């Protein structure tokens, strides 16, 4: 399974009956990936971990570059974040807009997720805006202190 799966309609070559191309994901793969992204959004840690343990890439990304960690973090699921990080997911992998899971967790005010990401090696200065920048934007002095920034 490729690490990046596009959601959406089929490519025009495929609809014209052209042979399968490595650039066009199989419909079943897209369906499975969508299910796995939803598991991350819902924080279904055990099932998500089982898929990764069975071979789904821990850094699987959707068509916007959001990783499983990003989706779990943004939706407030610290347990899922920790499980993915323990299975090799990158704590600082930015999406296509340069946003990191830590900055998203700061934006959403998810303290348990913030702590899980920091424990997993997340850099508060990574991304655009960074978690530090986001904490400054929202005057979160406690997080700036946690990040060692002022």
Bridge partners, 67 (sequence order): 61
Half-sphere exposure of 107 (CA within 13 A, CB side): 15
In this prediction, residues 116-141 reach a mean pLDDT of 97
Distances 146 to 111, 126, 149 between C-alpha atoms, Å? 11, 15, 8
Asked if pLDDT for residue 60 goes beyond 50, the answer is: yes
CA nearest to 60, candidates 79, 35, 82, 42: 35
Rg of the chain taking only CA atoms, in angstroms? 17
Taking only the tens place, the pLDDT of each residue in 99-124 is: 999 999 999 999 999 999 999 999 99
């Amino acid at each position: 399974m490729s690490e990046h799966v596009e959601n959406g309609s089929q490519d025009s070559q495929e609809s014209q009956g052209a042979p399968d191309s490595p650039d066009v994901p199989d419909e079943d793969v897209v369906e499975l990936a969508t299910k796995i992204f939803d598991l991350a959004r819902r924080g279904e840690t055990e099932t998500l971990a089982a898929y990764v343990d069975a071979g789904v890439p821990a850094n699987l990304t959707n068509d916007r570059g959001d990783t499983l960690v990003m989706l779990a973090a943004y939706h407030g699921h610290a347990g899922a974040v920790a499980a993915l990080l323990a299975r090799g997911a990158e704590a600082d992998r930015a999406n296509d807009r340069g946003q990191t899971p830590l900055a998203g967790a700061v934006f959403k005010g998810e303290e348990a997720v913030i702590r899980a990401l920091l424990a997993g090696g997340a850099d508060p200065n990574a991304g655009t805006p960074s978690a530090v920048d986001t904490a400054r934007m929202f005057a979160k002095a406690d997080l700036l202190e946690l990040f060692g920034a002022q």
